[in-house]
């Protein structure tokens, strides 16, 4: 019994341990408050928009056509036009971006030319959208003679989202341990067989997340499509899923929101807010899909 006293004192909590615990609790509350400070504005914005948009929100608002000079009615032409622009732009940018990232991460040597390419990709990711709009106007509308069309607007959005897709794909590829590659090479597999059978399956979650998250940027941009293919108003049939051709101009949610908010007098007060809710809801739905896909793919990783 006499020996238990010193042993108990030896493992008792010291003043330094108590200070460390207090510092940890303070850090926990500070970081929690910072996280709440980021989430609270989003909740407040969405709540305010829902409150102001509620009189117009509904299925009819989504599938109806604008009426009375866009002062009443719905947003069907703009909603379908946004689907066209986002789908075509990703169909162009995703394959090119993924293949370019595979080359830069798996095949390219470390020389001045490839370092220049990497620098160009990083710089392009930070170029303002208005600059991409002017490039699309000159390259696709005039030089390629596609005219003001869905094709020109989609290609401009593809050029704008391409650098981010390349960067996110490279990060996903680089996250696969090099030991996986070396194990395949040691049993005689070629570089492409290793990429196809090992690297891509283990990095697909990050690749898909990077691609899907670009939908939010492509859907929310106004300047690139305003200069290349979006139009103030386009007459279509109610509920028609294929109202546009590649050579046509189209309406888009982002430009429609700008138009009814600034250019249309005496518009019904809830219509701009309802349009913003549809655009925001579409983006949040895509982001939620990306998160779900990432969680599902991570569970299938081999390490």
**210 within domain boundaries:** yes
- Residue 7 domain flag: no
Last residue of a domain, one of 6, 23, 53: 53
In terms of domains, do 119 and 175 share one? yes
CA–CA separation, 275 vs 271, rounded Å? 6
Instruction: Please report whether residue 4 resides in a domain.
Output: no
Judge if 116 and 238 occupy the same domain.
yes
Please report which residue ranges of 137-269 form alpha helices under DSSP H.
150-174, 178-186, 191-194, 200-220, 223-228, 253-262
Looking up residue 215, the CATH number of its domain turns out to be 1.10.3720.10
Query: Are 46 and 134 in the same domain?
Result: no
**Residue 8, domain member (yes or no):** no
User: Which residues constitute the domain of residue 25?
Assistant: 14-53
Residue ending a domain, among 53, 74, 100, is: 53
Q: Do 21 and 168 fall within a single domain?
A: no
Residue whose C-alpha is closest to residue 198's, from 224, 178, 223: 178
Identify whether 30 is part of a domain. yes
Burial of 55 (C-beta count, 10 Å sphere; 0-12/13-18/19+) = middle
Q: Which two tokens stand for residue 302?
A: 């081999």
- Listed in sequence order, the DSSP H helices in the chain are 4-10, 15-53, 59-63, 76-102, 112-125, 129-136, 150-174, 178-186, 191-194, 200-220, 223-228, 253-262, 270-299
In the chain, how many domains are there?
A: 2
Domain assignment present for 9: no
**Is there a single domain that holds both residue 144 and residue 187?**
yes
Q: Quick one: which H or E segment has residue 67?
A: strand 66-67
* Same domain assignment for residues 36 and 150: no
Verify that 250 and 291 share a domain, yes or no.
Answer: yes
Same domain, 147 and 234: yes
For residues 79 and 19, state if they share a domain. no
- 66/142 same-domain check: yes
Tens of pLDDT, residue by residue, the chain (303 residues): 455 555 555 656 677 888 888 888 889 999 999 989 988 988 998 899 999 999 888 888 888 888 888 888 889 999 999 999 999 999 999 999 999 999 988 888 888 888 888 888 888 888 888 999 999 999 999 999 999 999 999 999 999 999 989 988 998 898 888 888 888 888 888 888 899 888 888 888 888 888 887 888 888 888 899 999 888 888 888 878 888 999 999 999 999 998 888 888 888 888 999 999 999 888 888 878 777 777 777 776 655
Q: Does residue 180 share a domain with residue 68?
A: yes
- Residue 193 sits in the same domain as residue 272: yes
pTM given for the model: 0.84
Residue whose pair of structure tokens reads 């400070």 in the numeric block: 37
């Amino acid at each position: 019994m006499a020996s238990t006293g010193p042993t108990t004192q030896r493992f008792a909590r010291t003043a330094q341990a108590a200070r460390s615990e207090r510092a940890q609790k303070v850090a926990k509350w500070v970081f929690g408050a910072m996280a709440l400070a980021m989430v609270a504005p989003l909740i407040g914005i969405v709540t305010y928009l829902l409150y102001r948009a509620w009189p117009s929100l509904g299925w009819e608002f989504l599938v109806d056509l604008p009426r009375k000079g866009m002062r009443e009615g719905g947003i069907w032409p703009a909603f379908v036009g946004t689907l066209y622009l986002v789908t075509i732009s990703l169909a162009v940018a995703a394959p090119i971006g993924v293949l370019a990232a595979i080359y830069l991460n798996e095949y390219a040597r470390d020389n001045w030319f490839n370092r220049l390419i990497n620098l160009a990709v990083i710089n392009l990711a930070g170029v303002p959208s208005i600059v991409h709009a002017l490039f699309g106007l000159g390259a696709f509308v005039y030089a390629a003679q596609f005219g003001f069309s869905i094709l020109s607007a989609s290609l401009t959005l593809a050029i704008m989202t391409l650098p981010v897709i390349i960067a996110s794909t490279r990060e996903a590829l680089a996250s696969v341990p090099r030991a996986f590659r070396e194990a395949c090479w040691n049993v005689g597999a070629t570089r492409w067989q290793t990429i196809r059978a090992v690297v891509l399956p283990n990095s697909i979650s990050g690749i898909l997340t990077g691609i899907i998250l670009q939908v939010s940027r492509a859907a929310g941009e106004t300047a690139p499509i305003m200069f290349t293919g979006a139009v103030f108003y386009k007459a279509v049939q109610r509920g028609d899923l294929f109202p546009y051709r590649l050579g046509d101009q189209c309406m888009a949610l982002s430009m429609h929101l700008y138009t009814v908010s600034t250019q249309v007098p005496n518009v019904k007060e809830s219509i701009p807010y309802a349009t913003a809710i549809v655009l925001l809801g579409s983006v949040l739905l895509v982001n939620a899909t990306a998160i779900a896909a990432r969680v599902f793919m991570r569970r299938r990783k081999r390490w």
